Amino acid sequence: MAEDFVEFKNFKGVGFEIENIYYIYDSYSNQILRAEKIMLDIIDDSFILEENQIVNKYKVIYNEEMIKNCLSSIKMAQDSADILKNFKIPGLAISKKLCTREKVEKKLSDELMHLMFNVTEDCNFRCLYCVYSGCYNNRRSHTKGNIISWDVGKKAIEFFLEHSRNVKKRYITFYGGEPLLNFNFIEMAINHTKRLDPEVRFSITTNGSLLNETILDYLTQQNLTMQISLDGPDQIHDLFRKTVSNHKTYEIAMEKLELIKQKYPDFYKNNLSINAVLVPHNFDLDTINNFFSNKNRFPFIKGDQNFSLGTVNPMDNTFVKEYDYNPFLWKFRRRMAELYKQYHLKSLDLAGIEAPVAIFHKYMKYLAIRSNKRLSEYDFYWPTGICIPGMRSMFVAWNGDIYPCEKLYDYEDMCIGHIDKGFFIDKIVEYIDEYAELTLPYCRDCWNYRLCGYCFLTSRFNNSFDMKRRMEYCAALRKTMLEHLKMYITIHEKNEKAFDYLKEDGDGKAIFVDQMLDD
């Protein structure tokens, strides 16, 4: 093993080393196994070569008895423990009983979960890294004229409620641009929805700059959740978050937060969350964490549910290249990983590491509470992280077009319906079937299949599925997941109770398993 990890070719697994101890993550069983170095060296060949061939190949490194004993251990593990199997996923599908069309029609008829409104394509900020800033290939820029009408909104609400009858918790989100530029629409949408169903829950994503007492009086009465964009302290936030006239925005954001805190203290504690983007900077790497871990300032940040620390999309934009973003990102992640490990090994209060928690927590959940069900036991295999387009999120554009989510909005070829015509079922079925067919040769041999959440977004480009592009994303994700595996093992080996609290934090199984449970 020339490096400190090896991606096996003949079964879905990855081998790696931590402090001179060797491990294998076996995707078939979803287990992380201790192993001798010799096993990592020869296990791949054990699936394709005879014993004497393996002995001859490795006898310059290991003696014959060691090789034979290792081969015997592999065979015993396969036979008695049902692990380390060369299992091939036969196909990808979204149901074990229904064809794609039947499943899609069933789910989209009455199980929609989330309506998102693109309230306006305009914004009063011009953040340099924004996907609509003009620095991204094939993405729109901010547009003043594209504002959703009440006619579109009313139809969308009624369509959504009609097609979500079998869902207990239904959500409507207001998105932009800056949605508060069209507050009148938001007010009408909430009032109309509540007349039809008072149990629907609302949320808004905003830069906060247009909040005033009149708007807040109304929004706080609706008990909606509000996500405010804030990238850190002033020296970091103001680097790239500017107004249209190129003015700094930190003081604006903090003034609005203070207004909420003073006038609506309960709303401040219970209904707010922060959406931060990790931007490149030359300040101490702990600055972001220290800022958001301040409980006097942000009492509502409690783990990964009230604080999102996203990253700039590493592909298809000029910002990443101009600001040398990727080296900064990995340097920052390494430092946050140190803090995450330190706090868990010492059983310290996680409230002191809100930034590392926001980055790593969901992956540790996947690993700490993963299912050990063997791949061969499943009745069907979901195509990695895709949803049924429209079901989890129905994103309605200003003109009434429907998209799977905000991330695929303005990918015009990914339009999956219109509020006057309903869902384009043929198109949705085609997306799913083509995606499943194209990704199968890659996913069936990938050790990261059970931990992967990648969806259409990573493979859709120029009106078609681009698998070369997808493989670039996959390579980056495998690298990231390997680091997560190492982090989990490093912590668990030294403090086996470190992640016990996650058992009280809901289901931590990988995305595709959750979907496969529901046929």
User: Quick one: pLDDT at residue 2?
Assistant: 45
User: Quick one: pLDDT at residue 510?
Assistant: 44
DSSP type of residue 260: H
* Location of structure tokens 């990983």: 337
User: Quick one: pLDDT at residue 509?
Assistant: 46
CA distances from 470 to 9, 337, 353, 458, 489 (A): 19, 26, 33, 5, 28
Read off the pTM.
0.93
* Location of structure tokens 């070569």: 49
User: Quick one: pLDDT at residue 3?
Assistant: 60
Six-digit token pair at 97? Answer: 């009983």
The residue ranges of DSSP E strands in 167-245, in sequence order, are 171-175, 201-206, 225-229
Burial class for 463, CB neighbours closer than 10 Å (0-12, 13-18, 19+): exposed
User: Quick one: pLDDT at residue 396?
Assistant: 97
User: Quick one: pLDDT at residue 505?
Assistant: 53
User: Quick one: pLDDT at residue 515?
Assistant: 46
Six-digit token pair at 248? Answer: 């700094």
274 closest CA partner among 232, 227, 204: 227
β 201-206/5-7 pair status: unpaired
User: Quick one: pLDDT at residue 58?
Assistant: 97
User: Quick one: pLDDT at residue 519?
Assistant: 55
Q: Which residues of the chain have pLDDT under 70?
A: 1-3, 138, 315, 504-519
What sign for the dihedral angle of Cα 443, 446, 449, 450? positive
What sign for the dihedral angle of Cα 362, 364, 369, 373? positive
Instruction: Please say whether the beta carbons of 161 and 196 come within 8 A.
Output: yes
User: Quick one: pLDDT at residue 30?
Assistant: 95
Torsions phi, psi of 241, nearest 5? -95, 100
Secondary structure of residue 286 in the 3-state scheme: coil
Six-digit token pair at 316? Answer: 């298809």
